[in-house]
A and B are shown apart, each in its own frame.
Chain A
Amino acid sequence: EVQLVESGGGLVQPGGSLRLSCAASGFTFSSYEMNWVRQAPGKGLEWVSYISSSGSTIYYADSVKGRFTISRDNAKNSLYLQMNSLRAEDTAVYYCARVGSYYRIDYWGQGTLVTVSS
């Protein structure tokens, strides 16, 4: 069974930093591309970042480019999102999500809440 478990969320002040982690199990993590997707309270889904299976290709949404860094450790079956210079508008539940064949996002974690507030 595919499992994705996020951690690292919490309350942080504007301008602060936070590192999210996602522990993957139930599939060969090193063979899959991964995404981070977020959802602000009461709002829709927003794609945040993508990383290829090897980590050699990375993409970011314009809204986080230059502030967020995605990475992975295939030996540890883990995905990360380093978030710097956080803003109030970054407040959201952050989901770790697997990218399946033909770029479909096929499995999601339960999410971790990030709150940016003073």
Chain B
Amino acid sequence: QSALTQPASVSGSPGQSITISCTGTSSDVGSYNLVSWYQQHPGKAPKLMIYEGSKRPSGVSNRFSGSKSGNTASLTISGLQAEDEADYYCCSYAGSHWVFGGGTKLTVL
């Protein structure tokens, strides 16, 4: 039950695009196309942004997109906005348990 690997921080200017990677193993990310991404603002509960690797829940901006290659999933945010500044977590179902990434702090410069 080891955590998925994410960069601790990323930054970008308004209007730019950023990508956050999430590396797991063949037992989690690589085995299941069931990676989710969550946005968490300080003091708030996480919010689902991407599920099944690339699908967006209703109401989530199409500026958010997800992909996966092998054991690595990625979240891309295009057209950065000030309100995108938050912590982002990836999560993979791994058969009888879930594993989260350590989180990435996104700073909008």
Contacts and interface: CB of A to CB of B under 8 A. Distances in A.
Interface of A: 35, 37, 44-47, 50, 59, 61-62, 95, 100, 102-111
B45 interface: yes
Interface residues of B, number: 25
Contact of A44 (B93, B97, B100): B100
Contacts of B47: 108
A50 B96 CA distance: 8
A44 B51 contact: no
User: Does more than half of chain A's interface fall in helix, strand or loop, or is it mixed?
Assistant: strand
Interface string B28-49: 0000101010100000111110
B102 A50 contact: no
A62 B3 CA distance: 13
Contact of A106 (B44, B51, B97, B103): B51
B28 to A, nearest CB: 11
Given A102-B52, A104-B36, A104-B52, A61 B89 contact: no
Contacts of A103: 32, 34, 93, 98
Interface in B23-81: 32, 34, 36, 38, 44-48, 51-52, 57
